[in-house]
A and B are shown apart, each in its own frame.
Chain A
């Protein structure tokens, strides 16, 4: 996978994620004017029109959105979108191929860290190791998308097993870089993980933004394989 092809795949997936996000804001009268430019720019990005400049315009526009909401609207998913946009800009505008690769590689590294660090902080916490933390998420956090899901807190063994599955998966994902097949399987599992989170906790934006970052990992794996 060439760098340009990986950048293009990322642009298309990011454009879709931004369109999905913008559509949800366009329905709010007070936010329509802010998100119309993002919608138009995302359509241009999807079509591949002047992509480097459109990425830059989207990044500058994102600063106004950050200012409007005094920070990210939806925490981690917004931050991943901003990270992808920043890395795409650097991937386009850096003066040398090496620097462009470093910028896009930084995105891949951060995607890996997003899983590994999340797994590490969980496994370091006894409440996660016993399943207590997952039960608390179900019991009283703001995330369960329906009241019926709170009943899951009454299934300690199943919840504990699920906690360990999540922690081991998050910690183990970097190992998937050893081969392209392993990485495809790893990313399919990761996408399934985000899909389940979207269904149970309504975190749909995480799904689309993390998906948009996966081409960087597929590119990095091949780039490292070629270098070794």
Chain B
């Protein structure tokens, strides 16, 4: 409860500094492994759709759970870099496990890639690589 009260304080005296600087932006990449020592074939978690129709955008006004969860995972990735905690790592890995519940590979690993501007293009920096997790309890 005390921790909850501490987390409430920034809401009572907010800073409202939305987008004051455009910081490097995290992407979560994961790999499904058949062997914990195998070389990882990384793929981006929840790639955004190529295009959205206006009707889809309207629907998302009232029903947008996956996108909001993805934004939460962006927060977890940022927290993991700023103030590392088991909570953020666990939140990411639990959602990766849930999303890959039907995969045959028994092992899972993720990494954080921060994208930033370089000239007129972008660059990617790997800032965190997780341990290899077993997808299910043995």
Contact = CB atoms under 8 A, between A and B. Distances in A.
A195 B58 CA distance: 9
Interface string B52-68: 10100110111111011
A75 B3 CA distance: 17
Nearest to B47: A147
B15 A137 contact: no
A121 B17 contact: yes
A199 B50 contact: no
Contact of B68 (A24, A82, A114, A207): A24
B34 interface: no
Interface residues of A, number: 54
Contacts of B22: 127, 133, 136-137, 141
Contact of A83 (B5, B11, B51, B69): B11
Interface string A86-110: 1000000000000000000000001
Contact of B8 (A62, A117, A139, A204): A62
Given A66-B7, A86-B11, A146-B49, A137 B19 contact: yes
Contacts, number: 154
Nearest to B115: A140
Interface residues of B, number: 55
Given A67-B4, A74-B72, A140 B16 contact: no
Contacts of A67: 1, 3-4, 7
Given A69-B72, A71-B7, A140 B25 contact: yes
A59 B20 CA distance: 29
B14 A110 contact: yes
Contacts of B72: 69, 73-74
A164 to B, nearest CB: 15
A148 interface: yes
B63 to A, nearest CB: 7
Given A70-B85, A125-B20, A202-B71, A79 B10 contact: yes
A25 interface: yes
A144 B27 CA distance: 13
Interface in A148-170: 148
A139 B94 CA distance: 29
Contact of A117 (B15, B26, B88): B15
Interface string A107-143: 0001001100110011001010000010011011110
Best-surrounded residue of A125, A136, A142 (most CB of chain B within 10 A): A142
Given A76-B18, A145-B52, A198 B65 contact: no
A53 interface: no
A222 interface: no
B39 interface: no
B12 interface: yes
